[in-house]
Structure 1
Amino acid sequence: MRKEGFTLIELIIVIVILGILAAVAVPKFAGLTKEAKISAVKGFAGSVRAAMNIVHGKWLVQDNSSIDNVTLEDGTTVYVCLGGSSDGHNCASGVIKGYPAPDTDGIGAAVDYDNDTFEAVKNDNGTNNTITFYYKGYSSATNKNCYVRYDYSTSGEGPKITVETDDCE
């Protein structure tokens, strides 16, 4: 009479093969989390650049250098800098006018960032006129470098965007 099923040797061989496959596959996929966070930060930086240029272009089309805001197509109001520090939006004196202000009512509103993914912190690098969007959990309090910084403090220039992904783990 013949019994059906697998022998112990066959089961051990299958388990060994699965173990080898797991040993090869796990290191491949382990680094994907870090790469995904880096990609999210770099993608967000692209959104900040695009939003900055769209708002500035729309402000220029308005043809009025005293208007301190731009209304986007979806109805969002974005405040812009007019080159003076008295406008209440962390704008440095002498900067190029019409770019989004470095706060949540300026560039933050323009990019419509996700609070669950990025945390916006104003003036956290010791320099006024900046807003830093940290990938959630990587704030300056944790001394981690995983962020996009929008810096509008350079006189005579437009905003600078800095991307830091050294500590996106």
Structure 2
Amino acid sequence: MKRQGGFTLIELVVVIVILGILAVTAAPKFMNLQNDARKASLEGLKGSIQGAAGIVYGKAAIKGLESVDASKADAGKKPNVDGIDITFGYPVATSAALGAAVNGLGSDWTCQNAASSDPAAIQCSFKNNTEWTANKGCYVQYQQAKSASEAASTTVVVTGSSCK
């Protein structure tokens, strides 16, 4: 009689155990993809805001408006570039100014004044983000320029459970 070739029960159990160990070690890496995507989206928004601010600054410099303080300008003569209100050459920290500078900001993101005491900052996050306090949520904070020697800055804040 011819002996049949095949796997023994022990060999099958060993293979199943090895696959189980691999699944346990690899699964956590793939479970956090949604949060990683949120963080990457915020980094993309940060880059968009920085790029737009740089372009606006370049246009302001061409017009000689890079050192004009919007808070000291007359009400009818606020400096702007292509309809974007500026201060020291950079967009002011308002939804309207950033929305005019960054394409798609109003359709995909929502912005509001920063929770901090600084009125020259604005936070932008996903339209469905409900965690807006300074200690929660995930958002991009844009800080308008404070002087001709201090440029505008943009930071990503990731502290809430929706981004971790």
**Does TM-score exceed 0.5, indicating one fold?**
yes
Change in 2 beyond 3 A, CA 1:116/1:144: farther
Give me the CA root mean square deviation.
3.5
The answer on 1:61 being equivalent to 2:62 is yes
Cα deviation, residue 38, structure 1? 1.2
Cα shift at 1:54: 0.2
- TM-score normalised to the size of structure 2? 0.66
Equivalence for 1:70: 81
1:79 and 2:77 correspond = no
* Structure 1 segments unaligned to the other structure (5+ residues): 1-11, 72-77, 82-94
- Pick aligned residue for 1:131 from 122, 136, 149: 122
Once the two structures are TM-superposed, the CA of residue 20 in structure 1 deviates from its matched residue by 5.8
Task: Describe the SS at the equivalent of 1:144.
Answer: coil
> What is the distance in 1 between the residues matched to 2:108 and 2:45?
10
Secondary structure of 1:131's counterpart equals strand
TM-score (norm 1): 0.64
Q: What is the aligned partner in structure 1 of residue 143 from structure 2?
A: 151
Supply the distance in 2 between the matched residues of 1:166 and 1:117 (Cα, whole angstroms). 21
Note the 1:1-169 alignment, pairs <5 A: 22-63=23-64, 68-71=79-82, 78-81=83-86, 96=88, 98-115=89-106, 117-135=108-126, 136-141=128-133, 143-152=135-144, 154-156=146-148, 157-167=150-160, 168-169=163-164
Larger helix proportion of the pair? 2
Structure 2: give runs of 5+ residues left out of the alignment: 1-12, 69-76
CA contact (8 A) 2:135 2:159 kept: no
Q: Distance in 1 between matches of 2:133 and 2:121?
A: 17
Aligned residues of 2:85 and 2:92 also touching (Cα < 8 A):
yes
SS of the residue aligned with 2:90? coil
Q: How many residues align structurally?
A: 149
Q: 1:112, CA displacement in angstroms?
A: 2.5
User: CA deviation digits over 1:113-166, x for unaligned, max 9?
Assistant: 445643201243221121111244153249424111111263442222222123
3-state SS of paired residue (1:150): strand
Distance in 1, Cα, partners of 2:157 & 2:107: 19
Measured in 2, the distance between the counterparts of 1:21 and 1:141 equals 40
Distance 1:57 1:160 in 2: 16
* Residue identity opposite 2:93 in structure 1: P
Query: Aligned equivalents of 2:145 and 2:61: distance in 1?
Result: 20
